Amino acid sequence: MEEEADEDENLPPGEEQGMRDSLLGGTPEGVRAPAQTPGDSEEQVRTRVPEGGFGWVVVLAATWCSGSIFGIQNSFGILYVILQEEMGVTKEQPMDFQTAWVGSLAMGMVFFCSPVVSIFTDRLGCRKTSSGGAALAFIGLLSSSFTNSLGVRYFTYGILFGCGCSFAFQPSLVILGHYFKKRLGLVNGIVAGGSCVFTMCLPFILKTMGKSIGLAHTFRVLSALMFVQIFLSLTFKPLLHPPTDYKEKENVPGRNKGQQCLVHTQKYFNMQVFKKKTYRIWVCGIATTVLGYFVPYVHLMKFAKHRFKDNTEEWVLLVCIGATSGVGRLASGKIGDCIPGLKKVYLQVASFLLLGIVSMMLPLCQVFTSLIVVCLFLGLSDGFLISMMSPIAFELVGPMQASQAIGYVLGLMAIPMTAGPPIAGLLRDYSGSYDLAFYLAGVPPLVGALVLLCVPLIHERERRKELQLEADKEKTQDNVVNGELLPGSPVTDARV
């Protein structure tokens, strides 16, 4: 009984009850569910995933989280135009570079904070981390409505809102792996599709609100979306252990301050995922691609407004992107469940190739209809890219280190993703056209696709090496056993 009590004390906060909850794991009321211990293998841990139940409520909350965050982020092109109109930007004094930093910082901070979010997720749990992030995002949007300064909005919208989105969003990805295994690709597609529904609806709503109630009140309406997420995040109850035992003693006698500092750093930043070559290559490919990923979302509205001056419905382009992105996310999630192991990477390779090609085709559109067609394919590539992030991370490092793996890849995406739109805006300010910016935005996805092609090949080669080593080891052990049974063997003589 004492051992059982000690085992319960080692469970993270909220997990003991979560493992017993009949809604979560399907355990009959009053019957104790098998607790997870730090020594359990990965397969033993994954057998406890309930594959539904209360998990569908978690999926609903995660869908709202993804939709509200990336619906706002992806619709920044509308806010971008309203911001410039509010500042009185003219052709003689273009401010594309300065204005682009508002939305670019917000999107960049979503990914830049991800490694830190992983630490909070492991130590505090998905529920507290996501609720706190939603509260910070709410404060950022609300405070953006009380200023007209572009510099202040760098902080309120770019930093506060962006950081809050990061803390709210990443736990919504991690928590899905606690409730689903076989359907993980499907539920990731559903959650990722939430942002597409918002992306389809928000452009028209923002365009209407911007004209009728102004930018300040528009920010206040958007902040209500994050206020709702504060309460929805309370459903993110974890079922699995974090990868680190946080009750381990940190101060060990005989260690100097430098060694203690190193221990603390290793405790908070679990770098084990980078020991896997396939993960390192995958991260490099993703980080290369996103240099041009966010450029169309920021500059597409301004590009369409200048290229097709007689057309006043450029918001339709974002609706098209959102619609096909939703189709892509749902389809890729279901397709990903049918593709074994790391072959899922080939879906991302295809999406990168398509993203690079359609980005380069944007300047070639001479009629608005052709621009709509290109945007349809742009949304499709976006859907296949995003929905595969979490399942591939789980395949690369396993569920116990998935939080850190997702955090690091999102963190390394931050710098190129933040730099892309301002660079495109700078090219527009100097050249007077978006053509060069869109041509160059298509190059990084093509390079990233070539890098990701190596991941399944290297993984298969390493797997063959491991199987060969195991076979050689078993053969050696068999020879040793047979040798012990031969007459004259020391072991045999001793037994006699």
pLDDT tens per residue, range 248-266 = 444 555 556 666 656 656 6
Provide the sign of the torsion angle of the four alpha carbons 186, 191, 194, 195, taken in this order: negative
**What does residue 442 show for φ and ψ, rounded to 5 degrees?**
-85, -10
Instruction: Give the pair of three-digit tokens for residue 334.
Output: 């279901």
Q: Are 397 and 279 in contact (CB under 8 A)?
A: yes
Say which residue, 310 or 44, is predicted with more confidence: 310
Of 9 and 332, the structure prediction assigns the larger pLDDT to 332
State the average pLDDT over residues 318-336.
79
Closest by CA position to 412, among listed 279, 266, 265: 279
Residue 274 contacts residue 280 (beta carbons within 8 Å): yes
pTM: 0.65
- Cα–Cα distance for residue pair 145/431, rounded to 1 Å: 33
Tokens of 210: 């911007």
Q: Which amino acid appears at position 491 of this protein?
A: V
pLDDT at residue 208 tops 70: yes
Give the pLDDT band (50/70/90) at residue 141.
very high
pLDDT band at 469 (very low <50, low <70, confident <90, very high): confident
Give the residue, 305 or 282, on which the prediction is more confident. 282
Least confident range of 254-268, 313-327, 403-417, 447-461: 254-268
pLDDT at 43: 52
In 122-236 the beta strands, taken as DSSP E runs, fall at none
Contact 38, 245 (CB under 8 A): yes
The pLDDT of residue 491 is above 50:
no
Give me the percent of the chain exceeding a pLDDT of 90.
10
pLDDT at 94: 61
Q: What is the pLDDT of residue 139?
A: 95
Check residue 47 and give its pLDDT.
56
Instruction: Say yes or no to pLDDT of 479 above 70.
Output: no
Q: Is the pLDDT of residue 244 over 60?
A: no
- Flag the least confident range among 126-130, 159-163, 459-463: 459-463
pLDDT band at 357 (very low <50, low <70, confident <90, very high): very high
Q: Please state the rounded mean pLDDT for residues 240-245.
A: 55
Query: What architecture (CATH level 2) is domain 46-243+271-462?
Result: Up-down Bundle (1.20)
User: 98: which 2 tokens?
Assistant: 């300065």
